[in-house]
Structure 1
Amino acid sequence: MNYYIISFFITALISLLIAIFVLSRNPKSKLNITFSLFAFSVFVWSFFYLFFALSATNLQALFWDRCLMAGAIIIPAAFMHFILVHLEQDTKYKGFIYLNYLICLSFLAILPTQLFIKGITPLFGFRYWPDPGVLFHPYFAWFALNTIIAHLLMIRYLRASQSEKKNQIKYIFAGTLIGFIGGSTNFFMWYQIPIPPIGSPLVAMYVITIAYAITKHELMDIKLAITRTAAYGIVGLLLAGSFAALNSLAMPISLAMTANGGLALFWAWAAHRLREIIQTPLEEKWITGWYDKNKLLNRITQRLIPVMEKEDVFSIIAEELKSTIRISRIDVETENLESGYADVAKNKNNVVIPLSSSSGPEGKIILGPKTSEDAYNDRDLTLFRSIRLQAVAIFDRIRPYETIKKEFEANEKKLYETEKQLERSARLASLGTLTAGVAHEIRNPMSVLRSKAQKLENKLEDKAFLKEYAALSIKHIDRILNIIKGMLDQSKSHEAETKPININTLIEESLAYFAITKINVVKNFSDCPQIQGDPIRLSQVFINLIQNAIRAMPEGGTLTISTAPENGEIIIKVADTGKGIAAENLEKIFNPFFTTWNEGVGLGLSTTHRIIADYKGRIEVKSQEDKGTTFTIYLPVKK
């Protein structure tokens, strides 16, 4: 007998708690109301079954049996209604639902009469067992018919549906099938079949299974209610236990009152805090992917405050959602936004969160399935909509920065292209100036060769002359070829060629382009380490500076070029004794198109400045009118 008493007590307790929890979560929901009615009817049946099992007389047993059968009569009507609501077919079968409740009320009306239960008799070892009346049999048929139809409807839904509700129905089907099979063992002895109600504890399986469906597949979203109740229960037990332990001690009344007052004050302070400490790990451990919506939103907000890049907004939101809600995969799209979504869109186990600013769509975050395989519920969608609203303000804040950044990058690119064109123009302009000097350099060796060639016909037998002529020809032809090669190199656009460069050698080669007659060239070269760079571009620097120095000394003067290593840099100085640069022009000389020469285009020094800057170096100028100018270049040596 203890087996039945314990099983009915557990079934009654679980059924009542679940009924209250579900109804409290959403008292206006048809699904919650019908399920709570079903669970409450099971509570009535199992609760009064407990008293029936403890009856001391036939009269008591008959009274409690009629009470428990009231719950048993409501069960089929409430269960059928719950299933039809959950399958969203209650409107279609509204007439059937009304008929079911009418039949239910009819059986409840005759329950107190002998038409339903004739009396109580001992049977198969039980002191008290009900003797069915004539109308009990139609009730049993009606009970069985509702049970069968409800499960057939669920089977049909499982076969035809592809929705996320399919998993919920699977658990409901399995739980209620086990529960009704267990509960059916109560009917055998009504028909004199010697099988006791040993399956009654299985009735509790339906509540346990549906509770699992609730927590695992979001059937009615009562997870927080369950965890909070568990937390309150633990705190209540600790509170009661502490007072019981305190008052079990022998102590004077005054001390007992003081101790109880102190303990009461402690619990007034600690109860709520302890409940939160217990509740949070319960929710985190028991409910996969559980999260505190407000905490998550606050965390996202705090991380987005300093953000100034659009990509970082998407990255932070995706990272927080993935780690907190436990999402298997998250994709971010910021392109092809023409087919954007106006709101959070849910598709099976995926969710699309479109993010936008006041100006229009900015992108979307596509959430894959949760790692727990739970479906996204209304709570999740509410969170995602809150994030959308939050993102509008963030994007509006960073949009001006993004616009300025894009314009800056576009202008920087245009400027770079312009400077490259200027560099090429400067190179060509330099070539024009160099042409006269180069022509002179070519004319001299050609004149020598022509003079020797004129004598060649008369000295064909003179081997010494021929040998001298051959050596001289090779020397002057090589010089001409080198000059031509240098001109071609200056006129072509080059891909950056990086190789070790000896600065002293490069300056010597640059000097070779010029026919210097009236100017005294002084070279103070120190032993310098090689640098990595493009010799063509760097030679253009020296050609520009040497050319400017020569122009500044039309009547002659001294050009001094010196090199020296110092503090990880090579310092190159190009100094002339020319007419100098006016003080008001010193700040302008590196500007494109600034020139004091009537025939100049003003690109040489701006190009020089650009090339030196590309090598992370710097160029400085000092000048005094009528005394001369000194350009100082600092080139870093890369180790």
Structure 2
Amino acid sequence: MNYYVASSIINFISSLGVSLFVFLTNRQGSRNRWFIVFSASVAFWAFGYIFWQLAVETSSALFWIRFAMFGSIIIPLSFSEFVIRLVHHDDSFGQIRIVNYLTGLLIAFFSFSVHFIQDVQPIMAFGFWPRPGIIFYLFHLYFVLNVLLSHLLMFAETAKRRGLMRKQIFLVFMATTVGFLGGMTNHFLWYAIKIPPFGNVTISICVVIMAYAIVAHRLMDIEVIIKKALVFAGIVGASACAVSIPVAVAQFLLGGAIGVSPFWLMISGIAIAVLIYRPLERSLLELTDKYLFQKKVDYRKLLKEATEYLSELASLKWQARRVIAFLVYKARIKNASLYAYQSHAPGSLLLQASRPRLKVKGHRTIAFSHPLLTYMLDQIPRGAIQLAHIEAARKQEQNRWKQKELWEIIHLLKDHQAEAAIPCFTTDTAKRARKKKEARLIRGVLFLGPQKSDEVYKEEDLDVFFTLGQESSIAFENARLYDEQILRAHELERTNQELNNAQTMLMRSLDESEQSRKEAEKSREAQRKAKEEALEAKKKTEEMEVELIRREKLLFVEKLVKGIAHEIFNPLQPVVQYVDRLNHVFVELFTLCDEFKYEIPEEGRRQMFEQFDLFREATKVIEERIDHLYHVVDTLSQMSRADDQSVKSIDFKIYWTNAVSVIQAQTHGDTLQEVPAKEDIPPNLPPVMANAVQLTQVFLNLYRNAIHAMDGKAEKEVSIRAWVDESDPAFLTISFSDTGSGIPTDMLPRIFDFGFSTKGTKGQGIGLNMCKTIIERFGGTIRCESEFDKGTTFLIRLPIAKEKKRVD
């Protein structure tokens, strides 16, 4: 019997054993059934492999290799279906799975034909190695794709899953990876690659890992009573395989070179296995004690270690975690949970620690009114309760109310996966709690899961845990007080910090408020200044516009006056000379006539003297008119020159007496007509603040507009009146009226707008706007009252000079 026969026998026994075990213990569910098919197909392949290796004839070898490969066709299909159900994708990959089924059926149909395996031939140490047909290549692709995709699916799921499911998938992934990698070493020789199938024995390793997953991690949801022995046997088998692998390698690599028979190599391997059996057994006992928990717990030693654990003062959470860790790792309990009393939750016990974490949500507190705590009080002085005893008591209880309470206790224990529950209180507290029936005196509850050895808790075990609970209650109470002191210190520190923060924030708020107030004041001051600057800028802009217009007009007047002066002064010079000469001639003539007057008849003399009087009167009128022309031209020349812009105190009566002739002369030149101005200006009016030249421009503009407005009227009259305003004695009111056509009511609000004119295209819309600007510059106002076809009145109010100054 060579290595390949031995490894095939091991593969057959292990695969068939696992398949039968799952079939007999739990064959419910498609996942378990496909695993049975998968394991059975491996056993089927291993069975055919054995007889193929033992065959001595070509026909027998050909039959058994085809027999073995028929099982190999079922392996990838059953494996992929098992993996799909393992990761809970039962309804996925529908079309792909149908194609997979059809491909498997097609290959199986040709499995015993020459299209799959043509014949057998010798190669290396094998006398009857199969030669593949065309269908084999399809099978090889079908095999590799199923295995590869299934492993990719498991790898992806391990990244998504957590807890037990992740461990199960990971173990299956590792086991089948090892098994398929070893089994696929058979494929090299099919393609004439001279590498022997030395990895066959890894299939048994795959079975061992799967068995461990079934036992330790409930892969098939099987509660195993004999799991310790089964896993122990599997570990021994795996160790034996580990020994046989190097022996097999030595057989093929060194056997031919040194001339040693395979039989003697096998005997040497068995001898080595016998020699290492005892050391291997001791090592395996330690491993099973660590992972499979076959070693008994020394509870006396356990209690001593627990006392040392609990002697250290720490927080309640930390103390609870240490107790739970101690129970899980030292006492070898699968799971444990601890509830303890805290002063901030006076009506219940709070969950402090649990390992592993509780899967059932909502179990974070146990109220003191819960039947479990009441039942524990009835069990004092022992106090420990077991799930099995509670279930038995419920069956025997006749009182329905008691049955309900016992059922609540059972339900609570099962939610915690606990086999027993231990109360935590000292001996003195226990006596008081039992006497007064006060569950509030219970300081905590320990929930103990099954022991890792799967043994039932004995009375002595529970007594040890009850003693541990009493020791824990003292430690828990000290830890609770320690937590309260720490909490008070933290609260005091937090209060001080909050007070400091509040003080800092208050000071900051006050500073920010003061800063905001100052900024608001600055903002208001800035707005006020900006408003004043804007008004000042507007006023200056308007003044500049008026000044620009005034200067343009002055420039025009200056040019005009210069032209008039040139045209008037030049002709007047000879006229003045001739008038002087006429006066001299008249004097001489009058002297001669006076000498010879008696020689002239009386009638003639009378007529002559009449002519002399007419001549003298005519020359006098000419001289007066020449003087008037000189005065007008001189006044216009003065107006055309740059004047003083300052606002001064002036006597309006004197001002008007000097200005009226200039205004009339100027308008007479414009309109070739002269309309007298009717005056009503008292002589004792107080002086006003104005600029004489600019005020003349205002009245000149108003007078000119009045002349134009009265054009075509039979009665033409301009009147000017002045009086102190009785409603406001600080102002002098001047009324300038005409008997013109008046201004339409809808135009009155706009007559002072720049660019607006009642004359249409004939006007420029500048004059009245300039008048308004000048009057407002003096600090006065101007407004208009008009009645259509009856006349217009402009009311000007000028400020009266407050101080007595030199009157211009």
What range describes the TM-score normalised by the shorter chain of this pair?
0.3 to 0.5
Which structure shows the higher helix fraction?
A: 2
| Structure 1 length-normalised TM | 0.42
| Structure 2 length-normalised TM | 0.34
